[in-house]
């Protein structure tokens, strides 16, 4: 039987105003880079990104980021290999 499960990955960073903190790491950019790594590492039909969000203001470096995804596998053994 098919098996499914979810995962929530939260990112935290220092954030800041885009002018005064230019060059500082953005938690949302880190989340997006993680999505790209997941695409390379996991079989295409095994996961679904259900949410990618972050930041809380215009002209600000995001201090938070979030990825939510759902894993699906054809059986328990295949699912365990994903997680």
* 24 alpha carbon, distance to own chain's centre: 19
The model's pLDDT over 11-66, given as tens digits with 9 standing for 90+, comes to 999 999 888 888 888 999 999 999 999 999 888 888 899 999 999 888 899 999 99
Beta bridge partners of 65: 11, 54
pLDDT higher than threshold 80 for residue 1: no
Question: pTM of the prediction?
Answer: 0.82
Three-state SS for 55-82 is: CCCCCEECCEEEEEEEEEECCHHHHHHH
- Residue 30 has what pLDDT? 96
- Residue 48 has what pLDDT? 92
- Residue 31 has what pLDDT? 97
Question: How far is Cα 51 from Cα 19, in angstroms, rounded to an integer?
Answer: 28
């Amino acid at each position: 039987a098919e098996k499914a499960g979810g995962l929530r990955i939260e990112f935290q960073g220092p954030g800041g105003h885009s002018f005064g903190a230019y060059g500082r790491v953005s938690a949302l950019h880190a989340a997006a880079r993680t999505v790209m790594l997941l695409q390379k590492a996991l079989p295409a039909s095994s996961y679904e990104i259900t949410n990618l969000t972050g930041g809380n203001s215009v002209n600000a470096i995001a201090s938070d980021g979030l990825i939510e995804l759902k894993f699906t596998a054809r059986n328990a053994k295949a699912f365990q290999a994903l997680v």
